[in-house]
């Protein structure tokens, strides 16, 4: 098959790219907060140095990746001020400020970095307020479009615990006009339900991909509620997905395994917005072209064997 790098333009949010896994038409965009976003966005975490700590080895390349993403139609960038820390946001600002009117930058708070790069809890009132102001300053914004509260009860996966206090602080910052929309990350269905009693929840960002499907039921529930689901580690994270099944399907389609992994997510549910991360221009172009790839029911059946 052939690909175009340019994402299809979709001014009315009505263009269709194919059918989902139940055979229903799926749109090119999905609403996050007040705006329809193209379903293929970009995750900026890989733009910091090794271990998401310190500067990248090639800052010019990082700037080029961001500019190329926007040139190819991306209007959704995921970031955090704890990437670097600060560095990823500074690179976004240098590359893209003043921002395009339709660009939505989603950030997250709730963690901070130790001097050795450790990921530490930062959910006290003062830490959350400081994090919002750090993001505003480093991104060069007066208001943040979307802020995800990143739960840290479990670093690698969701764990129960009340988010009432930190979410109340974030809702106050929203009322002050510093934050437009609030999302949750690394959370359980119970925490989402609790969160929705405190403020509107615009999106949920959890670990999910072709081989890591603990959130299957949650995704369907959020789709019914009209809430965006944004999987982190869509390609498998620091160790991208590898499997013979995935490679076989990719080879049959004349695509790459990473493109199949992204196309599978796009077909999984219309409320999924993608933020694959890369520090490479070639990988960025490859990932964005996955929007053109349609998987057949036979492909989907084969890929279902990867589910955990």
> Which residues are at the interface with ligand NAP (CB under 6 A)?
43-46, 78, 108, 150, 185-186, 205, 232-238, 240, 258, 275-280, 283, 286-287
Least separation in angstroms between residue 239's CB and ligand NAP is 8
Between 155 and 300, CB nearer to ligand NAP:
155
Which residue number, 166 or 234, has a Cβ lying nearer to ligand NAP?
A: 234
The nearer residue to ligand NAP, 44 or 227, going by C-beta atoms, is 44
Locate tokens 């704890």: which residue? 82
Annotated active-site positions, please? 83
d(CA 102, CA 86): 23
Please give the residue whose beta carbon sits closest to ligand NAP in the complex.
277
Smallest separation, CB 143 to ligand NAP (Å): 20
For ligand NAP, the closer of residues 19 and 63 by Cβ is 63
Q: Is the peptide bond before 27 cis (omega within 30 degrees of 0)?
A: no
> Minimal CA–CA distance to 7: which of 47, 40, 43?
40
CB of 117 to ligand NAP, least distance (A): 15
Q: Is the CB of residue 287 less than 8 Å from the CB of residue 257? A: no
**C-alpha–C-alpha distance, residues 147 and 129, integer Å:** 12
* Structure token digits, residue 185: 């990350």
Identify whether the C-beta of residue 210 lies closer than 8 Å to the C-beta of residue 265.
yes
DSSP string covering 15-35 = -EEEE-TTS-EEESEEEETTE
**Beta bridge partner(s), residue 144:** 179
* Nearer CB in complex with ligand NAP: 14/87: 87
| Paired sense of beta strands 104-109 and 76-78, if any | parallel
Q: Which of 228, 164, 226, 172 is nearest to 190 (CA)?
A: 164
Residue 303 C-beta: closest distance to ligand NAP, Å = 16
Q: Cβ of residue 229: shortest distance to ligand NAP, in angstroms? A: 12
């Amino acid at each position: 098959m052939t690909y175009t790098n340019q994402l299809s333009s979709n001014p009315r949010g009505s263009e269709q790219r194919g059918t989902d896994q139940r055979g229903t038409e799926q749109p090119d965009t999905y609403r996050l907060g007040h705006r329809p976003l193209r379903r293929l966005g970009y995750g900026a975490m890989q733009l910091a140095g090794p271990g998401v700590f310190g500067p990248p080895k090639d800052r010019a390349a990082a700037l080029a990746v961001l500019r190329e993403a926007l040139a190819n139609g991306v209007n959704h960038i995921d970031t955090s001020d704890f990437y670097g820390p600060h560095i990823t946001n500074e690179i976004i600002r240098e590359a893209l400020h003043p921002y395009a009117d339709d660009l939505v930058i989603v950030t997250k708070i709730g963690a901070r970095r130790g001097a050795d790069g450790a990921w530490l809890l930062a959910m006290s009132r003062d830490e959350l307020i400081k994090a919002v102001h750090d993001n505003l300053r480093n991104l060069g914004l007066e208001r943040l479009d979307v802020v995800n509260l990143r739960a840290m009860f479990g670093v690698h996966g969701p764990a129960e615990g009340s988010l009432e206090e930190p979410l109340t602080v974030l809702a106050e910052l929203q009322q002050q006009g510093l934050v437009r929309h609030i999302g949750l990350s690394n959370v359980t269905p119970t925490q989402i339900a609790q969160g929705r009693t405190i403020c509107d929840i615009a999106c949920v960002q959890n670990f999910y991909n072709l081989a890591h499907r603990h959130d299957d039921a949650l995704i369907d529930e959020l789709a019914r509620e009209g809430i965006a689901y944004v999987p982190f580690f869509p390609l498998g994270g620091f160790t991208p997905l590898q499997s013979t099944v995935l490679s076989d399907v990719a080879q049959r389609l004349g695509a790459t395994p990473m493109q199949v992994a992204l196309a599978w997510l796009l077909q999984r549910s219309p409320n999924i917005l993608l933020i694959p991360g890369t520090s490479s221009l070639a990988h960025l172009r490859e990932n964005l072209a996955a929007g053109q790839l349609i998987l057949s029911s036979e492909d989907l059946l084969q890929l279902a064997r990867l589910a955990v």
